[in-house]
Amino acid sequence: MPALLNERDLQFLLYEFLDAEALLARPRYADCSREVFDATLETGRQMAEEVFAPHNAKGDANEPRFDGGRVHMIPETKAAWDAFAEAGFLSAHWDADEGGLQMPEVVLRVAMAWFQAANAGSSGYTFLTMGAANLLRSFGSDALKARYLAPMGDGRFSGTMALTEPGQGSALADIRTMAEPRADGSYRIFGQKMFISGGDQSLTGNIVHMVLARIKGGPPGAKGISLFLVPKVLVNEDGSLGERNDVALAGLLHKMGWRGTTSTVLSFGEKRGAVGYLLGELGKGLSQMFQMMNEARIGVGLYAACIASRGHQLALDYARQRPQGRLPSNKDVSSPQALLVEHADIRRMLLAQKAYSEGALALCLYASSLFEDQHTHPEPQARRDAALLLDLLTPVVKSWPAKYGCVANDLAIQIMGGSGYIREYLPEQLYRDQRLNPIHEGTEGIHGLDLLGRKVVMQSGAAYLLFRARVNATIAETRNNERLAELAEGFPAPLSRLDEVTSQLTALLAADPDRALANATVYLDVFGRIVAAWIWLRLAQAADAASESATGADRAFYAGKLQAARYFIVWELPATAPQLDLLAAVDAIPLEMRDEWF
């Protein structure tokens, strides 16, 4: 079996591309060291290989089952949860006075990448619990934190995000779950939530649901929505488990992939009302929940990158071993067959996979470094810039890896031919697991609307201008490097057209929003491709800087990075041209299509 991920690439991204060692100069990380970072990553790799990866296929083949009373799962998922919690990963990023290790976000994300590549299903519980605990850290009262936070950090409780309802998915402002205030300051929650990942399981004694609900009689839309902590089991003041809350598992849903994570329908308040506790401010639930959603969006992008990367490792390994046919120039039928990896078309597909998966990984880790800077950079202006840029890029960080991750996993099947299609090989499962990523945490269509309708116009276009300034700076630097100057020349044409199209479409937003936003998904794709090309140009800079003094296997590693950058900029970036033509025409064919014409 090949490695789950390319470890050399993770080291390159963390230390050479993102210079994570520079974080050690920040006061928060004064007690950390490169050795601590490396040990964390090594623990992640080992645990992912030894505890998560071995039951990945078994978890896929044995979906959790609900017998009407409890959920049954394969025991390996619980063992994996326990090992993850025992190693301290659930709270590694918390402050020391909260019981955490003050691990930088970006280092923790790299450690998480191992688990995400090893087993999407089993790692799903950890990912949700960490996000839910962060919400509690940000918005919980001291009393709530005292009862719920420590057990979420040490693995006794897990967490969920409970937003979606049977009738409301993308349009969260229309949710119907109700909250009624009680004299003791708590609330009673009534309603049904659907698709809630990890909403019930047999891993932990308690589950802490982060629930969006509207106060009875409150205003309609987002202003009426508040955020509540609703435990499966109530917790007494001394921290012991109390009575069962009125939260019932109505059923498990059966999925195409990601089968190790339960997908649940939850009923709140079928009997007396589920006890819930307000987090943060009344009426601010949706905006507060965006903290968890935005973190999860980087996480979903990273899942997509990791699942794509694993598919790439498997396809590469297979292509290096399977002899098939001969090169067109070899007419000698008695000569040994060529390996798949020697065929140009296979190399084309492997290169595309490499460009998508490694580019996506770099993009998500870059987003994590912006998150890090937003919170811990010593300069206030740098913190503001990081927050602004991350806000703009979040729809891309979620959607680009998800969309092209699907393409990369499709290519893994194609490279392996018939073997790729059968369940005896892992790419078939990876393809199914990957398919969720363009759907959850906001569909691709919703992120297109968010990018064009909100993000590029917010603060009079300040985020867009900052992004463009950063890209221009990279282009100027690479133009001054004769080895990279040619790559920089791929950018001016698509960038100036992106500027034009962005002005044109945003100018139309107020007068005719339906038409302006009709092709928002195409805009997201163009924008994402340009962001990915910029990331590849920056990766090329880092590889070029290191390659001169490189020896041994490192020389091939950097050469591969530079070749993938060339591939992306020469083969993939120009695909924006016809899409930009379409956007400039503000074409309305889909918009004007009538229901009865289908």
Ligand X SMILES: Cc1cc2nc3c(=O)[nH]c(=O)nc-3n(C[C@H](O)[C@H](O)[C@H](O)COP(=O)(O)OP(=O)(O)OC[C@H]3O[C@@H](n4cnc5c(N)ncnc54)[C@H](O)[C@@H]3O)c2cc1C
Q: Does 285 interact with ligand X (rule: CB under 6 A)?
A: no
Distance CA 560, CA 318 (A): 19
Q: What is the CA radius of gyration of the chain?
A: 24
**Closest to ligand X by CB, 197 or 576:** 197
Minimum distance from CB of 109 to ligand X (Å)? 19
Q: Which stretch binds ligand X (CB under 6 A): 194-202, 425-433, 464-472, 577-585?
A: 194-202
Alpha helices by DSSP H, 93-195: 105-118, 120-139, 142-154
**Segment 197 to 226, residues that bind ligand X, using CB under 6 A:** 197
**Segment 526 to 545, residues that bind ligand X, using CB under 6 A:** none
Minimum distance from CB of 546 to ligand X (Å)? 40
Distance CA 89, CA 28 (A): 18
| Torsion angles phi and psi, residue 322, rounded to 5 | -95, 115
**Segment 153 to 182, residues that bind ligand X, using CB under 6 A:** 160-164, 169-170
Nearest residue to ligand X by CB is 169
Q: Does 195 interact with ligand X (rule: CB under 6 A)?
A: yes
Q: Which of 63, 441, 444, 572 is catalytic?
A: 441
Active site residue 21: no
Q: Does 297 interact with ligand X (rule: CB under 6 A)?
A: no
Minimum distance from CB of 24 to ligand X (Å)? 35
CA atoms within 13 A on the CB side of 223: 4
**Closest to ligand X by CB, 18 or 196:** 196
Annotate 270-312 with DSSP letters as a single string: SSS-EEEEEES-TT-HHHHHHHHHHHHHHHHHHHHHHHHHHHH
Give the strand pairing for 65-66 and 263-268.
unpaired
Q: Which stretch binds ligand X (CB under 6 A): 133-141, 193-201, 374-382, 541-549?
A: 193-201
Q: Does 228 interact with ligand X (rule: CB under 6 A)?
A: no
Minimum distance from CB of 258 to ligand X (Å)? 6
Minimum distance from CB of 505 to ligand X (Å)? 16
**Segment 414 to 443, residues that bind ligand X, using CB under 6 A:** 436, 439-440, 443
Q: Does 303 interact with ligand X (rule: CB under 6 A)?
A: no
**Closest to ligand X by CB, 44 or 191:** 191
Please report, for residues 120, 246, 346, 455, 527, the alpha-carbon distance to residue 269 in angstroms, rounded to integers and kept in the order given.
31, 5, 56, 37, 44
Distance CA 519, CA 502 (A): 12
- Under rule CB under 6 A, how many of the chain's residues touch ligand X? 19
Minimum distance from CB of 405 to ligand X (Å)? 15
**Closest to ligand X by CB, 242 or 445:** 445
**Closest to ligand X by CB, 172 or 498:** 172
Contacts of 74 (CB under 8 A, 6+ apart): 55, 58, 59, 62, 260
**Closest to ligand X by CB, 109 or 255:** 255
Q: Supply angle C-alpha 465, 469, 474, rounded to 5.
A: 150
Minimum distance from CB of 312 to ligand X (Å)? 24
Q: Does 446 interact with ligand X (rule: CB under 6 A)?
A: yes
| Torsion angles phi and psi, residue 335, rounded to 5 | -80, 155
Q: Does 263 interact with ligand X (rule: CB under 6 A)?
A: yes
Minimum distance from CB of 170 to ligand X (Å)? 3
**Closest to ligand X by CB, 47 or 162:** 162
Q: Does 291 interact with ligand X (rule: CB under 6 A)?
A: no
Minimum distance from CB of 435 to ligand X (Å)? 10
Asked whether 428 and 416 are in contact (CB, 8 A), the reply is no
Residues 11-50, mask of contacts with ligand X (x by CB under 6 A): ----------------------------------------
Minimum distance from CB of 38 to ligand X (Å)? 33
Q: Does 120 interact with ligand X (rule: CB under 6 A)?
A: no
**Segment 85 to 104, residues that bind ligand X, using CB under 6 A:** none
Classify residue 415 by its DSSP letter: H
Annotate 486-526 with DSSP letters as a single string: HHHTTSHHHHHHHHHHHHHHHHHTTT-HHHHTTTHHHHHHH
Distance CA 193, CA 161 (A): 10
Q: Is 3 left (phi over 0), alpha (psi -120 to 50) or beta?
A: beta
Asked whether 573 and 490 are in contact (CB, 8 A), the reply is yes
Q: Does 61 interact with ligand X (rule: CB under 6 A)?
A: no
**Closest to ligand X by CB, 51 or 172:** 172
Of 452, 297, 320, 304, nearest in space to 390 by CA: 297
Q: What share of the chain is helix, strand, coil (3-state, %, to 5)?
A: 60, 10, 25
Please report, for residues 13, 83, 335, the alpha-carbon distance to residue 127 in angstroms, rounded to integers and kept in the order given.
21, 14, 52
**Closest to ligand X by CB, 266 or 351:** 266
**Closest to ligand X by CB, 292 or 319:** 292
Could you give the residue numbers annotated as active site?
A: 441
Residues that bind ligand X (CB under 6 A): 160-164, 169-170, 195-197, 255, 258, 263, 436, 439-440, 443, 445-446
